[in-house]
A and B are shown apart, each in its own frame.
Chain A
C-alpha cells in the first residue's frame, strides 16, 4: 500500500513555489471583457498591460488601476507588446498597424516608428520590444518576416538579426525578447515560440546560441511566448511563459558555471482553475522579484509573490 501511495509521482521537473498567488480581471470595456496580452514593469514598479481592447492599463504595486488610455487605431487589430524605456517613454508594438507607438507616462501619443513592409526599418506584425542599457531598441516581428531589428535611441535602424525558419539563427514567431548585460558583452534573449526554444544573441556580433539546450532540455518548452529576466549576483534567471503548456518556467540562463541549480522550475498547468494558465502571452518581473503573468485565455493578470 505504501508503495502504491508513494508511486504517484508528478513531473520530473521541480515545482516553482510562490507564497502568494493573486489574480484580477481587467476592467470591462463596454459589453466586452478584454484579455491582457503583454506586460511591462515601470520604473516605480508599476505594472503596465496591453489588452485585447487596445487599451494600455497602468496598475500600482497593489493591483489598483492608476490610469488607462487607448491606442490611436484598433480597427485592424490590437497591440501585442509593450516596454517602458529608460527615459520614461512607453513603447507599444502596434502589431496590426506594423509600427511602434511611443507614449509619455500619461498616455499622450509622442511618435511612431516604422511602417508596413519588409525593408530595414519597416515591420510586419511587430510583437515584442526590449531596450538595452545603451538605449537601443530591439523589435521582434513575425508573419513570415520573422526577425529582430535593432534601432538606436533616435529610432535609426542599426541592424537586423535572424530570419524565418527553423535554423540556428532563425525564428518562428519571436514572441518575447529581453536584453541582458554580461561581463563579456551585451546580448538579448529571444523566446522563439514555435521552434520551442530560447535563443541568445550576442550584440552586435551574433551569432545565436540556443540556450534552451544549456541548461534547459530542448523539449522542455512549449510555445514560449514571453520572457523576463531576473539578475541575482552572478546568476541570471529567465522567467518564461509558455503559451502551449500554460506554464511558467524559471531557468538559470547565465552564471551556472558558478554553481547553482540548473534544473527548470515549473509553475502551473493549462486550465481555468487556480494556479493554472490558459494560453498565457506575457510575463514581467518587478524589482521585488514578483512575477506577473498575462493569463490571456482566462482574461486575468496573475501576480506571483515568491
Chain B
C-alpha cells in the first residue's frame, strides 16, 4: 500500500552537505507518503471521504451521546486524521482499481480504518436496568430473641412475596459474622435459615459490608436492615459512607425492646484452695434492675445441693451457700436464679458457673466398649488391682468430656473400645490430658481398636506411637464405600450431611475408595469412587455440596451399583441416609446388589409416620445384608457413620499366631523372660520417634506389638494385640501377665511432680483473664505463655507479662459462651512448668443488653438516605416505584476485533480477487461459453502490454483506457494455465534497451531518479 521503493540512507557522496541530505530524505519520505496523483483529482472524488468522516464521527458521537456505546479511550479518534491519507492513496490511483469496484474498495478500507479506531477507543456497550435489588439483612443474634426473630422473618417473607415480578430479593443473616442465605434473585426460595453464624455478638458493619458487596452495581440496590441495633462489634462509619456513595439506601426496621425488669447472675465465687471433708462457702453475685424475689439453686456436677428463697434489691446482691467436698476430683457448680414469670427479660443470663478441683491419689481409668460390657477389660483391671493400683472402669459413653475432669487419673487405658463410642469433645479431652497434663495413655488392641476402631485421623491417633494406616509395603485388600445423601428434609440436614460424610471418610484407609451420590436437579456423583487418601480434596467438594430432595432411590442406587460392580475392591458397602419417602429401587437393582455382594446400610432420619416411612429403607437393608438405623437424634449420626465405614476395615485385623519378638530393650520388659504366643493383632505402622518394644517376628515388615513414646508432657503406649482370653489367652494364663501390665502402666503413668505455678482464670465481660503466681522458693524470671482452647474448636495463644513480683497476667477476647481451657507454661532457668485452668462463659454477652438502640439505627437510615420502617409497610412500599435506572457497561471490543478479523480478508479480496462471473454462471448452469474466460484473460494481457511503462523517465500516467471487455472477471485460481514468465533480463545500462521485466524497469527508474 505504501509503495516504498528503497530509502537510500547509505548515500555518502562527497560534496553534498548535511542540510541537503536531510532535505533529500524528507523529500523522499513525503514523496512516498503522499505520492503525486496519477490521474486528475476532482472535488467530487472527495465525496466518499466526506461521507465517511460525517458517518463515522457523527455515528460515534451519537452512540456516545445517546449512551448506547461509550469509548473509554476517545483519543484514539485522533487517528481519523489518517482517513484523508487513505483516501489520497486511493484517488491518486495507487490502488489500481476503477469504477464501482474502486468505490467498494475505498469503502471497505474506510470501514477497516473506522473499526480499527473503535477497537483502540475501547468501546463498551451500555445497558440500563430499572430492576430494584433488595437485600434483607436480618439480625439473628441472641439478643433478638425467638419472638422478635419470628416477627422479623414474617415481615421479610410478606414483603418479598409482594415484590414486583422483575425485581430481586435476597437475604443475609448476621450475628458476629454475616452470611448470605439467598443471593438477590427474581425468585425468593426461602426454606429456613440454614446458615450457621455465631449468634453471641452483633456486627452490623459486617452485615452492611456484605450487603454492599452482594448488591450488583448494574441494578439499583436497597438494603432492608432488621435488627435491634445492639451492636457489640464493628465500626459503621466507613461502610455507611460506601453505601451512601453507591446510592444504596438502607431502610431500617428496628426491633425494639426495653427490659424494665431484668435479673441476672454475674458471678459464682468459690474458694481457690480446699481440703477434703471440710465445709466451704460459695458466693453468688446477683444483679437486678428492679427489686424482686426468686429461688436460688446450686447444682454440683448436675446434682442439686442447695436451694434458697431470696429477695433482692435493685443493683448487686450477694448470697452465700455451703459446700462440702467428700472425695477428690473435679466439681462443677452451676448457680441459677428462678424468678416468677414476667419479672425477668432474658432467661438465659440467669446462671453462673465455676469449679473446684481437689487433688487426690492418682488412679488408672480403663475404658471399655459400651456394646461389649467389661469382658475385655476385666483381666487387665484385676491384674492392676493386684499390683496395688486404684482402678476405675467406665464405658466410652461415661468418659469425661472435660480435660480437667481427667486430672484425677494418672493413666487412661482404651481397651478394645471404638472411636464411635466417643464424641469429638471426649477424644479432644483425652488428647489434651496426655499432651498438656502428662496423663499416661494406653490403647489395647482388639477388633474395635486402632484402625478398625475408627481412630484414623483423630486426636487419639496423634497421641499414639503408631499410625492407624499399616505399612505402605503391606498389600491389604481394599474396600469401596458409596454414600447416598438425602438429608435436606430435616433441620440443618445438609450441614449434618457434610459432617457425617467427612467423619465416615476420615475413618477409611488411604487406599479404600469412597464416592458420594446426591440428588439436586438429578442424581449425580458429588465425586465418584476416589481413594480416601485424597481426603483433603474430597472435603472441599463435600463442603460445597447442597443435596436436594431425592424423589427416588432408583437413579442413585443404580449409579452406585454400576460403580461398585466395576470396582476391584474386595469389600463393597453402601450407606443411605434419607427420610424414607423416595420411591424404592426397582427389583433389578436389588438383585444386582445381592449378586455382587454389596451390603447396604440405611439410616432413617425423621421419617414420615406409618409403614411407608421406614419400610423402603428397612427393606433395602434386609435384602442386601446391611443394617437399618432409626436414630431419634441427629447427634447420633456421626457414630453410626463411623461404625458403618469401619465395616470396610476388617482387613486390618491379622488373626495369626506368633511369638512376639523383643525389638528394643525397654523397662517394661525388664525381668520378663520368653513370652507366650499371641493369636492375632491389629496392623498398624510405627511412627518415626516411637520406641518399638515388641514386634511380630518378620524380616519384611515391622508390625508393632508394643510401642511407646513421649507425647507432649505425657507418655503413650500401643499394644496392638489384646490382653484378654481372645488373642492373649496364653498371656492371661501366664505368670508374666501381671508383672507385664504393671510394668507397662508404671512406665507410662504420670510422674507426680508438684507444680509451683498457681493459675487463676476468669471471664470479665468479653475478656478472659489469666493470672499466674509463681510459688517457687527461689525467685527467678519466667517466660510465661498461655494456650487457650474454647468453643467452636478454636484455640488462641495469649502472651503473659510480669505485672508484679512473681506475678504474671494476660488477657484474651472470649469468642462465645462455653468452656475455655487454659494451659500455661513457664520457662526459666532450669525450670519448665505447666499449669492448667478453666472457666465457663455461661451465656452470651448479648444477654447483658437490656434495650435496643434505635438511635444508632436512625443514624444508619439517615446517612444512607433510607427510611425507618414500622413493620406494617406493604411490599410495594419497600420496592419503591420511583427509581433511577442504573446504567452499566460491558466491553464489546471482542466483537469489534472479530469484525476487524473478517474485514481485513475482505479488504484484500476486494482488491486482489477477481470473480469470473461466467465461470460461476457455468457452475450454476447459467453460463453458455466457458471459453469466454480465456478470451477475457487474453484481453487483460493485451491491456497490460498497452499500458507498459516506457523505459525512459516515468511519466505521469494517462487515464486508463476502457477495458477491452465489458466485464474483466477472472477468478485467478480458476484461470487457465499460462506459460511461466521468463526470468528477468540482465541488468540494463542507462542507455541500454528497456528491461523486459517490471522489476528490472523499476530498478532502472530508481537508479536514474537517484542520479537526478
Chain A contact residues, CB within 8 Å of chain B:
1, 22-28, 30-33, 35, 75-77, 96, 98, 116-117, 124-125, 142-146, 164-166, 172-173, 193-194, 222-223, 243-244, 246, 270, 272-274, 278-279, 297-300
Contact check, A76 vs B186: say whether CB atoms are below 8 A apart: no
Contact check, B583 vs A32: say whether CB atoms are below 8 A apart: no
Contact check, A165 vs B587: say whether CB atoms are below 8 A apart: yes
Which interface residue of B548, B612, B616 has the most chain A CB atoms within 10 A? Answer: B612
Docked CA distance A300–B153 (Å):
18
Given A143-B583, A193-B551, is A124 in contact with B158 using a C-beta cutoff of 8 Å? no
Which interface residue of B185, B583, B615 has the most chain A CB atoms within 10 A? Answer: B583
Contact check, B185 vs A272: say whether CB atoms are below 8 A apart: yes
In this complex, what residue of B is CB-closest to A21? B165
Contact check, A144 vs B608: say whether CB atoms are below 8 A apart: no
Digitize B539-564: 1 where CB-to-A-CB distance is under 8 Å, 0 elsewhere: 00000000011011011000000000
CB B267 to nearest CB in A, in angstroms, measures 37
Contact check, B610 vs A144: say whether CB atoms are below 8 A apart: no
Contact check, B612 vs A98: say whether CB atoms are below 8 A apart: yes
Contact check, B521 vs A96: say whether CB atoms are below 8 A apart: no
Contact check, B522 vs A298: say whether CB atoms are below 8 A apart: no
| Chain B residues within an 8 Å CB radius of A27 | 158, 161
Docked CA distance A262–B158 (Å):
44
22 contacts between A and B (CB under 8 A): A22-B165, A33-B160, A33-B188, A76-B609, A116-B612, A117-B611, A124-B611, A125-B612, A144-B612, A172-B552, A173-B552, A173-B583, A194-B551, A194-B552, A194-B554, A246-B521, A270-B521, A273-B187, A274-B166, A278-B189, A278-B521, A279-B549
| Chain B residues within an 8 Å CB radius of A32 | 157, 190-192
Contact check, A1 vs B898: say whether CB atoms are below 8 A apart: yes
Digitize B174-187: 1 where CB-to-A-CB distance is under 8 Å, 0 elsewhere: 00000000000111
Which interface residue of A116, A143, A145 has the most chain B CB atoms within 10 A? Answer: A143
CB B1002 to nearest CB in A, in angstroms, measures 38
In this complex, what residue of B is CB-closest to A146? B583
Check: B150 CB closer than 8 A to any chain A CB: yes
In this complex, what residue of B is CB-closest to A28? B157
Check: B665 CB closer than 8 A to any chain A CB: no
| Chain A residues within an 8 Å CB radius of B611 | 116-117, 124
Which interface residue of B161, B189, B611 has the most chain A CB atoms within 10 A? Answer: B189
Contact check, A1 vs B902: say whether CB atoms are below 8 A apart: yes
Digitize B386-400: 1 where CB-to-A-CB distance is under 8 Å, 0 elsewhere: 000000000000000
The list of the 5 closest CB pairs from A to B, nearest first, reads A28-B157, A31-B153, A298-B187, A76-B609, A25-B161
Contact check, A144 vs B584: say whether CB atoms are below 8 A apart: yes
Check: B266 CB closer than 8 A to any chain A CB: no
Docked CA distance A3–B247 (Å):
45
| Chain A residues within an 8 Å CB radius of B890 | none
Docked CA distance A117–B611 (Å):
8
| Chain A residues within an 8 Å CB radius of B154 | 28, 30-31
Given contacts A22-B165, A31-B154, A143-B584, 19 further A-B contacts (CB under 8 A): A23-B165, A31-B149, A33-B161, A33-B189, A35-B189, A77-B609, A116-B612, A117-B611, A144-B612, A144-B615, A172-B552, A172-B554, A172-B586, A173-B552, A193-B551, A274-B186, A279-B549, A297-B548, A299-B188
In this complex, what residue of B is CB-closest to A244? B522
Contact check, A96 vs B610: say whether CB atoms are below 8 A apart: yes
Main secondary structure of the interface of A (DSSP, over half): loop
Contact check, A298 vs B521: say whether CB atoms are below 8 A apart: no
Contact check, A33 vs B608: say whether CB atoms are below 8 A apart: no
Docked CA distance A56–B531 (Å):
50
Contact check, B189 vs A272: say whether CB atoms are below 8 A apart: yes
Contact check, B581 vs A125: say whether CB atoms are below 8 A apart: yes
| Chain B residues within an 8 Å CB radius of A31 | 149-150, 153-154, 157
Contact check, B610 vs A98: say whether CB atoms are below 8 A apart: yes
- Tier of interface size on chain B: 35 or more
Contact check, B610 vs A76: say whether CB atoms are below 8 A apart: yes
Docked CA distance A35–B586 (Å):
29
CB A206 to nearest CB in B, in angstroms, measures 21
| Chain A residues within an 8 Å CB radius of B588 | 166
Q: Which residues 280-337 of B sit at the A interface, judged by CB distance below 8 A?
A: none
Docked CA distance A281–B616 (Å):
22
| Chain B residues within an 8 Å CB radius of A246 | 521
In this complex, what residue of A is CB-closest to B183? A272
In this complex, what residue of A is CB-closest to B182? A272
Q: Which residues 546-596 of B sit at the A interface, judged by CB distance below 8 A?
A: 548-549, 551-552, 554-555, 581, 583-584, 586-588
CB A205 to nearest CB in B, in angstroms, measures 26
In this complex, what residue of B is CB-closest to A172? B583
Contact check, B583 vs A194: say whether CB atoms are below 8 A apart: yes
Docked CA distance A35–B161 (Å):
12
Q: Which residues 725-755 of B sit at the A interface, judged by CB distance below 8 A?
A: none
Given A23-B165, A244-B522, is A143 in contact with B551 using a C-beta cutoff of 8 Å? no
| Chain A residues within an 8 Å CB radius of B522 | 222-223, 244
Contact check, A279 vs B548: say whether CB atoms are below 8 A apart: yes
| Chain A residues within an 8 Å CB radius of B901 | 1
| Chain A residues within an 8 Å CB radius of B586 | 164-166, 172
Q: Which residues 135-179 of B sit at the A interface, judged by CB distance below 8 A?
A: 149-150, 153-154, 157-158, 160-161, 165-166
**Which single member of A25, A30, A298 contacts B160 (CB below 8 Å)?**
A25
Q: Which residues 776-834 of B sit at the A interface, judged by CB distance below 8 A?
A: none
Contact check, A96 vs B187: say whether CB atoms are below 8 A apart: no
In this complex, what residue of A is CB-closest to B166? A274
| Chain B residues within an 8 Å CB radius of A244 | 521-522
Docked CA distance A246–B521 (Å):
8
Docked CA distance A298–B609 (Å):
27
Docked CA distance A78–B161 (Å):
22
| Chain A residues within an 8 Å CB radius of B587 | 165
CB A164 to nearest CB in B, in angstroms, measures 7
| Chain B residues within an 8 Å CB radius of A272 | 185-187, 189
Given A31-B150, A274-B186, is A26 in contact with B161 using a C-beta cutoff of 8 Å? yes
CB B292 to nearest CB in A, in angstroms, measures 33
Docked CA distance A125–B616 (Å):
12
Which interface residue of B187, B188, B190 has the most chain A CB atoms within 10 A? Answer: B187
| Chain B residues within an 8 Å CB radius of A299 | 187-190
| Chain A residues within an 8 Å CB radius of B554 | 172, 194
Docked CA distance A164–B612 (Å):
14
Q: Which residues 900-938 of B sit at the A interface, judged by CB distance below 8 A?
A: 901-902
In this complex, what residue of B is CB-closest to A165? B586
CB B277 to nearest CB in A, in angstroms, measures 55
Docked CA distance A145–B581 (Å):
12
| Chain B residues within an 8 Å CB radius of A300 | 187
| Chain B residues within an 8 Å CB radius of A24 | 161, 165
In this complex, what residue of B is CB-closest to A297? B189
Docked CA distance A215–B161 (Å):
40
Contact check, B189 vs A164: say whether CB atoms are below 8 A apart: no
| Chain B residues within an 8 Å CB radius of A98 | 610, 612
Docked CA distance A164–B554 (Å):
12
Docked CA distance A257–B47 (Å):
65
In this complex, what residue of B is CB-closest to A164? B584
Given A25-B161, A33-B161, is A243 in contact with B608 using a C-beta cutoff of 8 Å? no
CB A239 to nearest CB in B, in angstroms, measures 20
Q: Which residues 178-212 of B sit at the A interface, judged by CB distance below 8 A?
A: 185-192
Contact check, A116 vs B902: say whether CB atoms are below 8 A apart: no
Docked CA distance A278–B186 (Å):
13
Contact check, B150 vs A33: say whether CB atoms are below 8 A apart: no
| Chain A residues within an 8 Å CB radius of B552 | 172-173, 193-194
Docked CA distance A117–B554 (Å):
23
Docked CA distance A237–B567 (Å):
46
Contact check, A96 vs B157: say whether CB atoms are below 8 A apart: no
Which interface residue of B154, B548, B611 has the most chain A CB atoms within 10 A? Answer: B611
**Which single member of A26, A96, A223, A270 contacts B551 (CB below 8 Å)?**
A223
Docked CA distance A149–B186 (Å):
41
Which interface residue of B166, B584, B587, B898 has the most chain A CB atoms within 10 A? Answer: B584
CB A241 to nearest CB in B, in angstroms, measures 13
In this complex, what residue of A is CB-closest to B521? A270
